[in-house]
Structure 1
Amino acid sequence: MSQQNVVHPPLTGGKLVVGTIAVSLAVFMNVLDTSIANVSIPSISGDLGVSSDQGTWVITSFAVANAISVPLTGWLTQRFGQVRLFLGSIILFVLASWLCGLAPTLPFLLAARVLQGAVAGPMIPLSQTLLLASYPREKAPIALSMWSMTTLIAPVAGPILGGWISDNISWPWIFYVNIPVGFVAAIATFLIFRDRDSAIRRAPIDSVGLGLLVVWVGALQIMLDKGKDLDWFNSTTIVVLALVAVIAFAFFLVWELTAEHPVVDLSLFKLRNFSGGTIALSVGYGLYFGNLVLLPLWLQTVIGYTATDAGLVMAPVGLFAVLLSPITGKFLPRTDPRRIATAAFLVFALCFWMRSRYTTGVDTWSLTLPTLIQGIAMAGFFIPLVSITLSGLPGHRIPAASGLSNFVRIMCGGIGTSIFSTAWEHRSIVHHAQLVEQANSFNPIFANSTQQMQALGFSQAQTYGLFNSMATQQAAQLGVNDMFYISAGIFVALIGLIWITRPERSGGGDSAAAASAAH
């Protein structure tokens, strides 16, 4: 592989097709693995003889390792080259997946998941960087919109595929499915990109910055994943993790802003487009991902859906996303990306407002319609915002900016999930307290209802128990409606962040650069 600082010409013909498929397969495999294990935790825990709480470390270990490695993409690219790093990530990911499937014990599985998460970090930013270099500048937005379909479909397909595999085959196969996909992606990547590597620069290792990054990200991620189970700040463990995260993060900021060769280039946040675009994208993603977890949970615990049926309700989101993404890519170079992103945020707000009006008797069409419409928002969400985020950046800063933007997005996804699940529980408790306040003899409606039920043969205890059960279900419904309504409001508020940016117009190039941070 060349180590000269050479600008490679775009790929053409069959090489371009194979190269696009190679990076898309790698990304699909990567994104799929972030969600495919979620519904398989009971199967994994039972087979390995551990509790479900211990089993959730299968998710946590991957998330922590992945969150730490993503912002290192820029530095690792300088050390190893884009193609070599991308190819190595695919091969090690396949190896880690094989080890996950073979795991005889939980510690072995967790070690394999840490490896899997660590090597997965640079894969998404680098896949986009390689793709951008393969297409002419004017075709970059279209290429990226086509590529983005894989990342739109994978999060929805993950739980459905994971549930089906666990129910019909066995849980190791949720990891084994990566082997043939990764094998094909690795061979195609080597054949197409082996002579298109970037220059290598032996930058010094920022060991202090790296150590602080590992400490604060690890502490924060574990705190987010375990907070709800441990009752948040009523737990000494959570308090200690929070203090460690805050202190290590403060030292990390000071060190990285003053280091000669920082492991993460925080100076990117001095740029208006990068800051505004990254924050809008990340907070919006946190809202989207938090609701992506909340919606199936509500369907299963309150409405009575099975895991598979809940997954199928989420599936239509991919329809308009896949159909409209190429159109977004086509029009992006000729229009202001802020307009497309604004329209996407308004559609997101509309979808969540529609969901905020659900009742416990919601029908399938009312569930499916907002999900279907949300696909329109998805098609105009990632690509324009990434275009804004990386607008005006020189090519050599793209991998670092891509890694940092992805890192913030991933962390916001984790924060969104924790906040939404906890806030839903708290709002449900508040609504339950308000509802049961009406259960007294001075309320004629309640008194009449209890008399009617007792006339039917129910005892007083059974009557009160039934009322409490109904109040609990209704409180959970009102609580989830609150979450949807708040989400709609925040999406509208985020539009202001979009318009503080000033994206540069240079044909497709900046939109192209965009890619480096999408998803």
Structure 2
Amino acid sequence: MSSDDDIFSRLSPRSRTLAGLVLAMSNLMVVLDLTIANVSVPHIAGNLGISPDQGTWIITSYAVAEAICVPLTGWLAQRFGVVRMFTMAMIGFGLFSVLCGLSSTLGMLVACRIGQGICGGPIMPMSQTLLMRIFPPEMRGRAMGMWAMTTLMGPALGPIVGGYISDNWSWHWIFFINLPIAVLCIFAAQALLKPVETETANVPIDKMGLFLLVFWIGCLQIMLDIGRDHDWFADPIIVALALLAVIGFVAFVIWELTEEHPVVDLRVFRHVGFSSGLFTMALCFGAYFASIVVIPQWLQMSMGYTATLAGIVTAMTAMAALFTAPIAGYMISRVDVRLMISGAVAWIGIMSLVRAHWTSGVDFGTMIIPQFVQGFALPFFFIPLTTLTLGSVLPSETASAAGLQNFVRTMATAIATSLVLTSWGDSQRVSRNDMADVLQPEQTQSLLSSLGFSSEQARQTISNLVEQEAIVMAVDHVFFMSAMILFAAAVIVWIAPKPRGNVDTSAAH
């Protein structure tokens, strides 16, 4: 009996199925937490007495911490065993979720979200590793399909669940609900997965590489998060952070290319297919995530929507993706993946152009349609792009390439959040000033006065109207810029050579 057969025989079919469900649930929880806070930002900002701009640190801090921790997953699993690390990560995630819910200041909430991200980062890849470990080859396709469905369901359920909880309970509960799921996963892992624990080895860790990684990403993200409040490069602090980020990044690249056991294996970038595919992924995820951040905030702050309704509009894209994911999986071995990616990205870009014509009078149904139609293209971009990038590297480099792919994807969402909100704010100011230059408020004021408004009420009404229109024009600007980026990404993907067949995508996460 081979060692693999021995592993599979350690679990009964029932235990294997239960373990698969628990691993899928753990992945769903972590993916859900990336989007569940998006629609709750206005609630959290109002409760903590901070601006919505500052409230978005709750999104970026989690994403950055998760991205930094993902490259460490392989080392942690080898050093402590994959089941033990999975259990410890779940304990940490549950604990920091409770602390997030108990937070009374922005500083405490951001610190606890960083803790949540550090613990959540390894859960996704380790849940996938364990699925591959407990299911025999002939059952892995179905197991990975179930896992992939949770990755798609997370962004769909996150805004709806977050909106409903914020409207009907309180924002604290978007974090508290993680606790029972985490406890269930911890006990189930101990009861079911102990027999498939991996062997441990005292492998070295690239401490300097890890330090440089945290340093340059930390400087970059702080610069992006506080830049708009400090007038960007007019402030010496922002200039200093930008210089430190550049120096740290250059030092990180040089160190990692010369280190024997790098924390991030940058050598895989020598493959043109991997590099162009990863660049395409970063652009697409950044542009796609722009709408996930902007739409719920605009609908709640300017359009008078509840968090629940804003969440439903946001989630429609991921809902549609659930229908077409099986078709994309079926077509992947029959169609050139570059054609699938290019077509899907262009499709998403066209839907961004449609949304760039929204007005302050747009209704719920009009917003739902492009959101839903856009979603059909998501699996035709995400699934083939994974095949393209992993199919461009050597089989021995697949794990490193998959880890780097997840790192770049998560960082793209964090950086895009900061850049989009800056662009949105700047565009609002420009639109407001442009309207103020051409307005003729005297006529409107006299009309309002004849309707019984006082001069102060009339001025305030005009100001509110200008503000509302400036915000929606800024939203349209964000969608237009997203569309241009997506169209560029649809072309860039053709730089990649056609990938080889039979790609092992099991290491992707």
Q: Provide the TM-score with structure 2 as the length reference.
A: 0.87
Aligned residues: percent identity? 41
Paired letter, 1:86: F
State the 1:366 CA deviation. 0.8
Moved more, 458-467 or 425-434: 458-467
Alignment of structure 1 residues 317-356 onto 2, 5 Å? 317-356=317-356
The residue number in structure 1 matching 2:508 is 517
Equivalent residue number for residue 219 of structure 2: 219
Equivalent-residue separation in structure 1 for 2:107 and 2:464 (angstroms)? 40
| Aligned residue type for 2:478 | M
Is 1:315 matched up with 2:315? yes
Show the 5 A alignment for 1:113-128. 113-128=113-128
| Counterpart residue number, 2:427 | 427
2:178 maps to which residue? 178
For the 8 Å contact 1:125–1:402, the answer to whether it is kept is no
Q: Please state how far the C-alpha of 1:17 moved relative to its aligned partner.
A: 3.1
Identify the residue that residue 265 of structure 1 maps to in structure 2.
265
Which range moves more in the overlay, 427-436 or 203-212? 427-436
Could you tell me which runs of 5 or more consecutive residues in structure 2 were left unpaired when the two chains were aligned. Answer: none
Distance 2:256 2:135 in 1: 34
Alignment deviations for residues 329-385 of structure 1 (CA, whole Å, 9 cap, x no partner): 233233332232223212211211111121111122110101111220222232111
Look up the match of 1:205. Answer: 205
Q: C-alpha separation between the residues in 2 aligned to 1:205 and 1:470? A: 57
**Which AA in structure 2 matches 1:260?**
E
**1:240-271 deviation digits (Å, cap 9, x = unpaired):** 32222222111111111111221111111112
Preserved contact between residue 83 and residue 194 of structure 1 (Cα < 8 Å):
yes
Code of the aligned partner of 2:485: I
Q: 1:482 aligns with which of 467, 477, 485?
A: 477
1:409 pairs with 2:409: yes
Give the whole-Å Cα distance in 2 for the aligned partners of 1:219 and 1:5.
45
Change (3 A) 1:12 1:343: farther
- The answer to whether the Cα contact below 8 Å between 1:73 and 1:400 also exists between their aligned partners in 2 is no
- AA in 2 matched with 1:183: V
**Which residue number in structure 2 is paired with residue 18 of structure 1?**
18
| Alignment CA distance shift 1:162-1:231 (3 Å) | farther
Find the counterpart in structure 2 of residue 77 from structure 1: 77
Q: Is the 8 A contact 1:289 1:413 kept in 2?
A: yes
> Conserved in 1, the CA contact under 8 Å of 2:358 and 2:476?
yes
Q: Which residue number corresponds to residue 443 of structure 1?
A: none
Q: Which segment is superposed worse, 497-506 or 276-285?
A: 497-506
Tell me which moved more, 280-289 or 182-191. 182-191
Rate the CA distance shift 1:228–1:55 in 2: closer, same or farther, 3 A. Answer: same
Residue 494 of structure 1 pairs with residue 496 of structure 2? no
By how many angstroms is 1:433 displaced?
2.5
Which residue matches 1:506?
501
Matches of 1:486 and 1:115 in 2, distance apart? 33
CA distance in 1, matches of 2:301, 2:105: 30
Q: Using the alignment, how far apart are the partners of 2:7 and 2:418 within structure 1? A: 44
CA distance in 2, matches of 1:100, 1:310: 23
Residue 283 (structure 2) pairs with residue 301 (structure 1): no
**Equivalents in 1 of 2:143, 2:392: separation in Å?**
19
Deviates more, 1:358-367 or 1:482-491: 482-491
8 Å contact 1:24–1:150 — kept in the other structure? yes
How far does residue 289 in structure 1 lie from its aligned partner after superposition? 0.8
Aligned position for 2:35: 35
2:67 and 2:40 map into 1 onto residues whose CA distance is 22
Structure 2: how far apart are the matches of 1:308 and 1:33?
16
Say if 1:505 and 1:131 are closer, same or farther in 2 by CA, change over 3 A: farther
Change (3 A) 1:331 1:45: closer
Q: Is the Cα contact below 8 Å between 2:342 and 2:491 reproduced in 1?
A: no
Is residue 63–residue 221 contact of structure 1 (8 Å, CA) maintained in 2?
no
Q: How does 1:130-279 map to 2 (within 5 A)?
A: 130-133=130-133, 143-190=143-190, 192-198=192-198, 200-279=200-279
Deviations 1:81-121 (A, max 9, x none): 44443333223322333444456877665554433221211
Q: CA deviation at 1:174?
A: 2.8
Residues 217-248 of structure 1 deviation map (CA, whole Å, 9 limit, x = unaligned)? 12222222333344433444333322222221
* SS of structure 2 residue aligned to 1:362: coil
Name stretches of at least 5 consecutive residues in structure 1 with no aligned partner: 441-445
CA contact (8 A) 1:142 1:326 kept: no
Q: CA deviation at 1:68?
A: 1.8
> Secondary structure at 1:311's aligned position in 2?
helix
Query: Which one-letter code corresponds to 1:496 in the other structure?
Result: V
1:472 aligns with 2:444: no
Deviations along 1:170-226, whole A, 9 cap, x unmatched? 554333322221233334445554444555443322221111111111222222233
1-structure distance, mates of 2:260, 2:248: 19
**Distance in 2 (alpha carbons) for counterparts of 1:313 and 1:368:** 6
Matched ranges for 1:55-74 at <5 A: 58-59=58-59, 61-74=61-74
Aligned-partner Cα distance in 1 for 2:415–2:351: 21
Q: Distance in 1 between matches of 2:112 and 2:241?
A: 24
Change (3 A) 1:416 1:367: same
CA-to-partner distance for each residue in 1:143-196, whole Å, 9 max, x for gaps? 544422222222343343234334544554333322221233334445554444
The total of aligned residue pairs comes to 505
CA contact (8 A) 1:428 1:475 kept: yes
TM-score with structure 1 setting the length: 0.85
- CA 1:432–1:58 in structure 2 vs 1: closer, same or farther (change >3 Å)? closer
